Amino acid sequence: MSAVPELRILISQEQIAQKVAEIARQITRDFQGHKLMFVGVLKGAAIFLSDLARQVELDASFDFIGVSSYGNRPTPTQELISGWDSTGEVRLTKDVDQSMRDQNVILVEDILDTGLTMSYLKKILFAHQPRVLKSAVLLDKPSRRKQPIEADYVGFKIPDEFVVGYGLDYAERYRNLPNICVVPRD
């Protein structure tokens, strides 16, 4: 097993824990007296969802939805830097398991980047006619937006850097890093 390389920490696990607790308190207040359904976007949101949900003091259930972005077939060089750019088209790879009709749904995503994924998912989830549909993202890169969309609960706004850890990956690696780290550009 090769060791995990040293990557620059952008947001520490302590900062993440504090922010997640803050968002959980806010959600607990906002939905007092109601049931909740968390819908996590695989796979990046799995860690954020599990930490967040355990601190929300409400009757909550989980579901998960899967998407992948696809576009033109990447050239070998684009393949090397895959993850640097979302290609535009979003495809559903795993549907939710339960009906969301009349439910209070919180869509949980790791990062809001161009906004294409979140716009696509909100459209899909609205079709289920939830009572309320809100979104929670741990990270937000506002400078990259292509769709005019904002999340209701945002952990950290970050600059245009490619980040990994706490669920986020680079070619499926680094999801298990406890801190959020920056992947150097070369």
Residues with active-site annotation: 113
Minimum separation from the CB atom of position 115 to ligand IMP (A): 5
Residues in contact with 163: Cβ distance below 8 Å, sequence separation at least 6, in sequence order = 10, 111, 139, 180, 181, 182, 183
Determine, following the binding rule CB under 6 A, whether residue 107 of this chain makes contact with ligand IMP.
Answer: no
Minimum separation from the CB atom of position 35 to ligand IMP (A): 26
State which of residues 103, 117, 135, 179 lies at the interface with ligand IMP (CB under 6 A): 117
Among 24, 30, 33, 37, smallest CA distance to 128 is for 37
State which of residues 40, 44, 130, 155 lies at the interface with ligand IMP (CB under 6 A): 44
Binding track over 77-96 against ligand IMP, x by CB under 6 A? ------x--x----------
Among 61, 75, 57, smallest CA distance to 21 is for 57
**Helix then strand then coil, % of the chain, to nearest 5:** 25, 30, 40
Coil, helix or strand at residue 123: helix
Measured from the CB atom, is 31 or 105 closer to ligand IMP? 105
Stretch that binds ligand IMP, among 6-14, 49-57, 128-136, 163-171 (CB under 6 A): 163-171
Determine, following the binding rule CB under 6 A, whether residue 116 of this chain makes contact with ligand IMP.
Answer: yes
Residues 42-71 that bind Mg ion (CB under 5 A): 44
State which of residues 16, 105, 112, 138 lies at the interface with ligand IMP (CB under 6 A): 112
**Strand ranges (E), the chain:** 8-11, 36-42, 60-70, 89-94, 104-112, 132-140, 153-157, 163-164, 180-182
